[in-house]
Chains A and B, each alone.
Chain A
Amino acid sequence: MDLENQKRVLDLAELHGKENIVVLLGGADAEASGMIAETVISGDPAFAGALTGVQLGLATYHVLESEIKQEIDAGLYESNIGMMEMVLPVEEIIKEVSSFRNKGP
């Protein structure tokens, strides 16, 4: 995960409290999405950024997951994400992101 973004996430978690933050992912790729989920949940696996050794355990979802989809107006979702929902490997992405979420920090 981008080092600058790790720093931002850490700052936000400290400012607002980690229980008040949801991380919403929009990546096109399962592996990369999983890596970001892992970073903001149990720390940077590459041991490079601000989240190295920091287990924030943030609630992390991909925008393609049903928990998020049901929160968004159906028409708006369709007009912004409907196309990519057809193109991306949705199940793989959900499997990858939810596995880190379920595992916890």
Chain B
Amino acid sequence: MAERNAVITACSYGLFHAPYFSQEHGTTPEAERSANPGSAFLTALPSSMRSFDQVVAYPPNQAFIGNLDPRTLPAKPWHTVPQGDAESGGSLGRIVGEEVLYALIKYSDAFDLVVISSDFRDEALAIFAGDEALAGADPSRFKEGVAAPTLEKLVADGALPLISGGRVLGCVKSAHPTDLNLGAHTILENLACKATGVYALRRLLVDNRIDPKAVDYIIETSEEACGDANQRGGGNFAKAIGELCGLANATGCDLRSFCAGPAHGLVHASAMVSAGTARRVVVVAGGTTAKLAMNAKRHIEKGFPVLEDCMASFAFIVDGEADEGLLIRDKVVGMHKIGSGSSPQAVIQDLVVDPLARAGLRLSDIDAYAPELQNSEITEAGGAGNVTLANLKMIAAMAVMKGEIAKTDMDAFIAAHGLPGWAPTQGHIPSGVPALGWFLKWAREGSFSKGLLMGKGSLFLGRMTGLFDGVSVLLEAWKREASEAGSMGHDALESAKIAIGLTIPGSEGGRAELLRGAAEAVRADGTLEVVLFGDTGSTGDDDPSGTGLEMARSEMEKALAAGTIRAAVTFHHPFPIGVATVGHMKAPGNGRDLFIASTTGASSTDRVEALVLNAISGLAVAKAFGISRPSLGLLNLEGAPRALAILRELCTGGFAIDFGASVRGAGASTGEGESLLRGNDILAGTVDVLVCDSLTGNAIMKLLASFSTAGRIEVAGSGYGPGVGPAAPAIAIISRTTAAPVVANAIALMARMDRGGLGKIYAELRTDAERSGLSRLLSLKMKRSGGGLSGGQGPTALPAKKPVQHGIEGIDVGELEEAIAALQAEGIYCEAGMGCTGPVVMVSEEDAAPAAAYLIKGKFIGDRES
């Protein structure tokens, strides 16, 4: 199955006002109650709680549910600037009151552990009926309520009350007489987590009209553990939540990594969708009671209300069949590795610098960084500083170290690429994920292209390791392009037909061989149409004068320009200098796709420069073919070590290349590092992209293609491949001795290049390479070697430009520039070109004879007459 795009299409966030839980079950008040029962903090706590309206009007909460763009948050202190027209419902979620939370807890109870009063039973049913996200829920879960004395008795026996506005609405009982893991406290904590997760997921489905039955997998990423004494964290919140949301066709599991859990969840969901394991995966997490009022002591000391008075939850969906949304670039995930160490610099290197370098991006190419997004009013007053800003400063410092910005521009970088924190400090909740909804909004408005989401976790808190954790994901605004419709099943196939041209004259194998190849290509891929050029219908093969091919070529070029064909396959094309072809072959040693860059043409007249540019061309073709991170190696030829050094410097500048290693082992006898390949690497298929000069590549292609026919005819591979270079036409070259299978492969290859967007990919890679210093590195090399294209003879008057049709062959590539200059000086207009057999000097028909004579006289070419 083809790889799918993993795309986030919808997010939902929930806030649950929980003033009673905050005072009763937050670890800070709990610890205080056992250590200093009558403390000033505990005395001040009840009067420091906010009302529901205050919670709704709190600006960061409005940002959390999608009503207030976090980039436009007012100046702090936020709790003193209530939003006048604040609503409890927003485009990304909803804030609900304590009674809703308790009703959800009862709804989430599968074992009669939650008992509610008769009055509250009726209220809960009304709450469910009045909330569109809960309206379809099964009311039978609200069994008969009990009278007040029964509740009092249960609480006296150890059940934990559910109190709101001074009323006891219900209680949570212990599920086991002795097992603390099933005690009332843990059950309450877990049910509250489950309940808040259920609400976020139900909202996600209802608000975005997602069919619950279309979801295949659930990943739950909170920080709670459910299980009993024999399996304390056995799980599984995911299925428990899915069950109450109608996800009948889904399964799922819990995934934990402290606060980094949600970011890991995103990576896993994306990988499952990309691999085709699941079409749609939801990632969900409920909130935590333990972290309520965590910094309340310091907040009250500073005269703040208790700002950590809400549980929070989220759910988002990763869809493999979406048409638009946030594309998860799961091939460029940043992972904090075990061996990296936990220094902040190592973490930022792993989470930001490395993945972006692999994606060929600079730090400043990211529109918005979403690291820990804790509400900074809460953390600053709590003594932990501005967590989001601290992260952004580190990223900006890295941009300085990479030479992207000046140190004085760090603040400007943060202002341009950072976000403030607005998420409630519920551990896993702030960890990047609150930005997803806004990224999606901004992407749909067209104001957002790329964002980096980062999750970090303090693993050492669990006492199993001193390690830290972190994972980051690159997200991109994305819409399915028409050309991608080809992968979308048969309905879309007709509209995605691709016409590929094929010139007929000049085959040594005969017209029939070409037609067989064309027919085979169409048989193998029904979306292809092959348009023939220069087909006279004659069974004879030949085109001794070459005029038939020339005419066919001219027709083919017109069709390409008119867009009636998307690409073409032909025997010969005089690509300009700057364009070289990249051949395709299955590596004999392992059957993997091997791209040989280059096989004809010349990307530059300078050997080292040509090798460097060939590497870029080879990467472009491999990527267009569908290899997202092609490995690359240079064949150990003259100039290769210099070219390799330049490529490595490009990497340092941010251009992403995965260098493959020779089967002979690192630096086998060359001392030049692992990426200089030997002859056996060609056969072994060591790398995806093999870089060499055109003449060597041409020999390799011919050798591999005609090996089994002892050199008689080329039967393997896809030919010499598309010309790649600035403004290169979509033309691929095959040899005149090409057999039908290779013709078919060449046609298929060009269709794949068109669908894969070769031209666009090449242009992007060239831009990336330029940004990474390509021109500077190449000119530096030129200066060092004292050679180059501009010999420095000063300007001379050039002969007038005229059309050039005649190619003079036989010139050495090293002397091409000199020959051109000499002819120009002689008043003969000419251009450099590259034919199948090597470089050519292109002149007009009328100049053909005098130019050839001059070149013979100047010993640039041999005298064929003699």
A residues apposed to B, CB below 8 Å? 29, 78-84, 86-87
Contacts and interface: CB of A to CB of B under 8 A. Distances in A.
A87 B346 contact: no
Given A84-B394, A86-B407, A87-B393, A79 B400 contact: no
B345 A86 contact: no
B580 interface: no
Interface string B336-365: 000001011110100000000000000000
A92 B346 CA distance: 24
Given A86-B407, A86-B410, A87-B390, A80 B397 contact: no
Contacts of A86: 393, 397, 400-401, 407, 410
23 contacts: A79-B345, A80-B341, A80-B345, A80-B346, A81-B343, A81-B345, A82-B401, A83-B348, A83-B394, A83-B397, A83-B398, A83-B401, A84-B343, A84-B344, A84-B394, A86-B397, A86-B400, A86-B407, A86-B410, A87-B344, A87-B390, A87-B393, A87-B394
A25 to B, nearest CB: 14
Interface string B243-274: 00000000000000000000000000000000
B579 to A, nearest CB: 41
Given A84-B394, A87-B393, 9 more contacts: A78-B401, A80-B341, A81-B345, A82-B397, A82-B401, A83-B344, A83-B397, A86-B400, A87-B397
Interface in B767-788: none
A29 B386 CA distance: 13
Contact of A80 (B343, B390, B393, B398): B343
A64 to B, nearest CB: 13
Contacts of B348: 83
Contacts of B390: 87
Classify the secondary structure of A's interface with B.
helix
A83 B345 contact: yes
Nearest to B385: A29
Query: Which 3 A-B pairs have CB atoms at the shortest separation, nearest pair first?
Result: A86-B397, A83-B345, A87-B393
User: Which of A80, A82, A86, A87 has most chain B Cβ within 10 Å?
Assistant: A87
Interface string B407-421: 100100000000000
A32 to B, nearest CB: 10
Nearest to A79: B345
Contacts of A79: 345
A84 B346 contact: no
A82 to B, nearest CB: 6
A86 to B, nearest CB: 4
Contacts of B397: 82-84, 86-87
Contacts of A29: 385
Interface of B: 341, 343-346, 348, 385, 390, 393-394, 397-398, 400-401, 407, 410
A97 to B, nearest CB: 19
A83 B385 CA distance: 19
Contacts of B346: 80
A48 to B, nearest CB: 15
A84 B410 CA distance: 13
A94 B401 CA distance: 22
A83 B349 CA distance: 10
A79 B410 CA distance: 19
A90 B52 CA distance: 43
A87 B390 CA distance: 8
B400 A84 contact: no
Nearest to B341: A80
A83 B345 CA distance: 6
B130 to A, nearest CB: 49
Contacts of A87: 344, 390, 393-394, 397
A21 B448 CA distance: 54
Contacts of B345: 79-84
A78 B343 CA distance: 12
A81 B348 CA distance: 12
Nearest to B353: A83
B484 to A, nearest CB: 39
Contacts of B400: 86
A1 to B, nearest CB: 16
A79 B345 CA distance: 8
User: Which of B348, B401, B407 has most chain A Cβ within 10 Å?
Assistant: B401
A6 to B, nearest CB: 19
B795 to A, nearest CB: 47
B351 to A, nearest CB: 12
Contacts of A82: 345, 397, 401
B131 to A, nearest CB: 45
B466 to A, nearest CB: 14
User: Which of A78, A81, A83, A86 has most chain B Cβ within 10 Å?
Assistant: A83
A48 B483 CA distance: 70
Contacts of B407: 86
A3 to B, nearest CB: 16
Contacts of A83: 344-345, 348, 394, 397-398, 401
Contacts of A81: 343, 345
Contacts of A84: 343-345, 394, 397
Nearest to A82: B401
B179 to A, nearest CB: 31
A79 B344 CA distance: 11
Contacts of B393: 86-87
A82 B343 CA distance: 11
A20 B344 CA distance: 30
A21 B681 CA distance: 55
Contacts of B398: 83
A86 B396 CA distance: 9
A86 B392 CA distance: 12
A81 B401 CA distance: 11
A80 B343 CA distance: 7
Nearest to B407: A86
A78 B401 CA distance: 9
Contacts of A78: 401
A45 B346 CA distance: 34
A84 B390 CA distance: 10
A17 B341 CA distance: 31
B294 to A, nearest CB: 20
Nearest to A78: B401
Contacts of A80: 341, 343, 345-346
Contacts of B341: 80
Nearest to A84: B344
A47 to B, nearest CB: 18
A78 B398 CA distance: 11
A87 B385 CA distance: 13
B312 to A, nearest CB: 27
A82 B390 CA distance: 15
Nearest to A26: B343
